[in-house]
Structure 1
């Protein structure tokens, strides 16, 4: 039986933690970062999958095992990588602490945002077949529900404390929900599920319903006062070593980099429809600032020019090669558990474990998207992706 109960218990612990205010300093970061805000974006609220999960999977289903985290944290940190993720580097660019996972009830601080992303999550609501294929039930709609809980409980606290001029050192200020940046990086798992359960053409035909569900959540966030969105499209899934190297059933046709062309075409179709929907949403939600970020092009550039950027074999991966095991499995040698080991220098690799990117690759991508090199509107830096000030000044009067 799979750990649905674990999800419920983790969520309950997260909610109970929200009642403990004033126990930590404002801006507390378990990673010891300076929290001086260098921009006018006071908080990040993130939705996504393993590309930006900073601890929700670990809280709900059990921790990632070593050698995850070895490069930066020195131990597993709830991230599927040897170190930091793109969302961590974006937080640094904004002068904010790393985001606490909403489901992680111990040592978390939501003063400057929260992370609802969880590894294995999809945009579409999970069904039994998806669950059996190891995609978890914490879909984008569930992440939206968790955000609503955080926002409602925060408002409840401040309502109760207003007569005492109370503040909660681990919850956002009320106006930061409207002034924060809403980052979204999701869709890879939806495509992954399509590619293992149907033909490429059927996968392309199924994309529109996923985009509809994505747009519906974004509209609901807008109704909840979200004013600025930073939306990543999905990366070149056909370039993941999991598909391009290790999958014996992959299509034979590959591009000049060894990536599976048919799988990348599915990702490109997803991105085309996502971008078209973003344009429509801009017309519908004119009071919001919606930045579309072409993660696909950034990652494909990195893979195509890996040597020029200081990386080795673009389709190689670091973790798990020594024992021919992925990072999350182990073997028993003479009665002792031995975790799948990593290479000596993870920074030489784009892929950490065949599916997730290394810290070095995440940093490379983050530096370029944060500087606006892959943004629409063009040249929009992450520090400039704040809510529309003119709208805020009108609606606040």
Structure 2
């Protein structure tokens, strides 16, 4: 009797393991790699490598304090959203591309994102608006690096298409700095970015189409976060006019701008889907995902969603975050890290909402 129970228990245990393995395989689908483009919301070390010996706060704690326990090139206290996508798909954390661009094989993919990157080339802003965008990268440069890597690790059209058909491509978030670099100086007329918003979205769309032409079959396209709720914006554009704020004390005009960008981007995604049947293009609603923290902070253990964890003494704690400024508490009590970037905790919640819903028109775990 006892041995029969033991045998049944063994069979049950084997069945459970088999089911778990099947679940992991389902979560991983057939994606063997992730290739990512973007800015500081995605970068896993490219800017850190690129600046060499130059001083930068991201070279020092408290950046990286939560998960890695040391600075690692991510512009937050720990992991960024793409890290959680990789973990969910059973892949290692994505390496930055620039250090190994000339020789790396990138068996699990590569991250071309660079903190501070913009979508459009800097020359566009100089020519059209006499404005200097001091950006270390843009989509054209990231796409060129991507093509260079593909030509080495999968030479020939057939090999490139085969490799990309089993890869997940993350296109951003990108475009945020095209607006941030303008908006963050309150002396700049805020209406100007509305004029170039269509060109930013067109640039993202053109890059998406090029990646599809190379052979990509699954692409995630994130929208913008609600910038009117960011401590850096709340500090830079502090107003005595009550009507400038919504009921959550976010800046209405800037959140409406984020929504305009996102609407245009969603329309571009719809257009690309219609022109590329068979390609899965997923829109990730980062705006709604981030608004959770502002609308119901208590549900996430967040004390105040409109203040930064690391920064200065102002009402929103906005200001430089470095090894000399103050940490206002444990990062897991904050949604915002340094005024512009979110905490690891917030990034994980956003990632979960894209992986499992409801913040993706097709949750990533349901793609296959």
Task: Sort the TM-score into its range (normalised by shorter chain).
Answer: 0.7 to 0.9
**Where does residue 143 of structure 1 map in the other structure?**
142
**Where does residue 4 of structure 2 map in the other structure?**
none
Structure with the higher helix share, 1 or 2: 2
For 1:55 and 1:43, the matched residues in 2 are separated by 18
- Asked whether the 8 Å contact 1:351–1:357 carries over to 2, the reply is yes
- Structure 1 stretches lacking a partner, 5+ long: 1-34, 160-171, 329-337, 387-397
For 1:248 and 1:193, the matched residues in 2 are separated by 14
- Asked whether the 8 Å contact 2:308–2:318 carries over to 1, the reply is no
CA separation of 1:255 and 1:142: change in aligned 2, threshold 3 A: same
Aligned-pair distance for 1:366?
1.1
Greater shift after overlay, 318-327 or 88-97?
318-327
May I ask how many residue pairs the two structures share in their alignment?
327
Aligned-pair distance for 1:381?
2.2
- Asked whether the 8 Å contact 1:66–1:76 carries over to 2, the reply is yes
Aligned-pair distance for 1:371?
0.4
Aligned-pair distance for 1:179?
1.6
**Where does residue 338 of structure 2 map in the other structure?**
353
- Asked whether the 8 Å contact 1:122–1:189 carries over to 2, the reply is yes
- Asked whether the 8 Å contact 1:236–1:267 carries over to 2, the reply is yes
* Structure showing greater Rg: 2
Aligned-pair distance for 1:134?
6.2
Matches for 1:303-318 after TM superposition, within 5 Å: 303-318=294-309
Corresponding residue to 2:288 among 276, 289, 297: 297
Aligned-pair distance for 1:109?
6.5
- Asked whether the 8 Å contact 2:311–2:319 carries over to 1, the reply is yes
For 1:148 and 1:81, the matched residues in 2 are separated by 29
For 1:362 and 1:131, the matched residues in 2 are separated by 35
CA separation of 1:372 and 1:229: change in aligned 2, threshold 3 A: same
**Where does residue 365 of structure 2 map in the other structure?**
383
CA separation of 1:365 and 1:216: change in aligned 2, threshold 3 A: same
**Where does residue 82 of structure 1 map in the other structure?**
77
For 1:375 and 1:226, the matched residues in 2 are separated by 19
Corresponding residue to 2:110 among 105, 111, 114: 114
Matches for 1:220-369 after TM superposition, within 5 Å: 220-244=210-234, 246-248=235-237, 252=241, 253-321=244-312, 325-328=319-322, 339-369=324-354
**Where does residue 96 of structure 2 map in the other structure?**
101
**Where does residue 179 of structure 1 map in the other structure?**
166
- Asked whether the 8 Å contact 1:154–1:174 carries over to 2, the reply is no
- Asked whether the 8 Å contact 2:336–2:342 carries over to 1, the reply is yes
For 2:164 and 2:202, the matched residues in 1 are separated by 24
SS for the counterpart of 2:215 is coil
Aligned-pair distance for 1:188?
1.2
**Where does residue 190 of structure 2 map in the other structure?**
200
Corresponding residue to 2:40 among 43, 50, 66: 50
- Asked whether the 8 Å contact 1:120–1:136 carries over to 2, the reply is yes
- Structure 2 stretches lacking a partner, 5+ long: 1-23
Deviations 1:7-26 (A, max 9, x none): xxxxxxxxxxxxxxxxxxxx
- Asked whether the 8 Å contact 2:318–2:338 carries over to 1, the reply is no
TM-score by length of 1: 0.75
CA separation of 1:239 and 1:229: change in aligned 2, threshold 3 A: same
Q: CA RMSD in A?
A: 2.9
Matches for 1:58-77 after TM superposition, within 5 Å: 58-62=48-52, 64=58, 65-77=60-72
**Where does residue 9 of structure 2 map in the other structure?**
none
CA separation of 1:109 and 1:365: change in aligned 2, threshold 3 A: farther
CA separation of 1:57 and 1:83: change in aligned 2, threshold 3 A: same
For 1:259 and 1:109, the matched residues in 2 are separated by 45
Aligned-pair distance for 1:354?
0.7
Aligned-pair distance for 1:39?
2.8
